[in-house]
Amino acid sequence: METRDSKSIKKALVSALPHTIPVFTGFIFLGMAYGVLMQAKGYNALWSVLMSAVAFCGSMQFVAITLLTTAFNPFQAFLMSFMVNARHLFYGVSMLGKYRGMGKIKAFLVYLLCDETFSIIYSIEPPEDVDSKSFYFWISLLDYLYWVLGTFLGGVIGNFVSFNTMGLDFVLTALFTVLFLEQMKAKENRLCGFIGIVGTVISLAVFGQENVVIPAMMIILVILTAGRKKICT
C-alpha cells in the first residue's frame, strides 16, 4: 500500500516529466555526440560516463577532451574551466529564492544545476498541489540522467560505428534555442529576452566571439539591476 509520501513523490514526478522532454531530446543526442567523441579519442564508455556523472558540466566536457589529449597544464585547465562555467555564478544568485528552505536536498539541487535545468526551474512554478522540493528534485535528476544516458549510448555506439561527427555539438545550440523560444511565449518574459539579445550583441561587437559569454552576462545583469523596478512591475 502506497504511503502519502510516496504518492506525493510520484505526483511530483508526473508533473515534472513533461517539462524535461525538450531537454531529453537535446541531451540524448548531445550526450551521444560526447560519448562518440570520447571513444574516438581512446576513452571508452566507462570513462565518458564517469566524466558525465561526476563533472556534469556539458560544454566544459567537450573542452576537456582537448585537455585530456594534450600536454596537461593545471593552470590553463583551471582558467578554462572557470571561464566556461562562470555563468553558474549568476545562476546560483538567481536561484537563492527558489531553493530557500530546501533542507538537505539543497546541496544535491545545486550540484545538478545546469543551463537547461536552470532555464526550466527558474521560469516555472510547481502546481499548487505538488510539493516544490520533490518537483525541483525530479526536474534536476531527470535532466542529469538524460545526459548520463546519452553519454553511455554514445560511448557504446562509438565502439561499432565510425562516422563524421562534425556538427553534432550544434544540438546544444538548438536546445538552447528551443528553451528560449518556449520562455518567450509568455508575454512577461519578452522584455528580459530582448535585453538578453541586446546585451549579447553588444558583448559580441565589443569583445569578440571568443570572450562573449561573461561580458554579455555582466551587461545583462547591469541592465536588469538598473531597470529592476520597471521590469518587475
What is the mean predicted confidence (pLDDT) over 158-168? 69
Q: Structural domain boundaries of the chain? A: 4-172, 186-233
Would you say residue 31 has pLDDT above 70? yes
| Predicted model pTM | 0.73
CB 159 within 8 A of CB 46: no
| Set of cell numbers at residue 85 | 562555467
Would you say residue 232 has pLDDT above 60? no
Would you say residue 233 has pLDDT above 60? no
What is the mean predicted confidence (pLDDT) over 196-225? 83
pLDDT confidence of residue 150: 94
Cα(133)–Cα(138) distance, rounded to whole angstroms? Answer: 9
pLDDT confidence of residue 172: 61
Which amino acid appears at position 173 of this protein? T
Q: Mean pLDDT in the chain? A: 82
pLDDT confidence of residue 101: 85
Residue found by looking up cell 537563492 in the block: 96
Of residues 137, 170, 131, the one with CA closest to residue 17: 137
Cα(178)–Cα(225) distance, rounded to whole angstroms? Answer: 26
Which amino acid appears at position 41 of this protein? K
Q: Say how many C-beta atoms besides its own lie within 10 A of residue 40's C-beta.
A: 12
pLDDT confidence of residue 164: 66
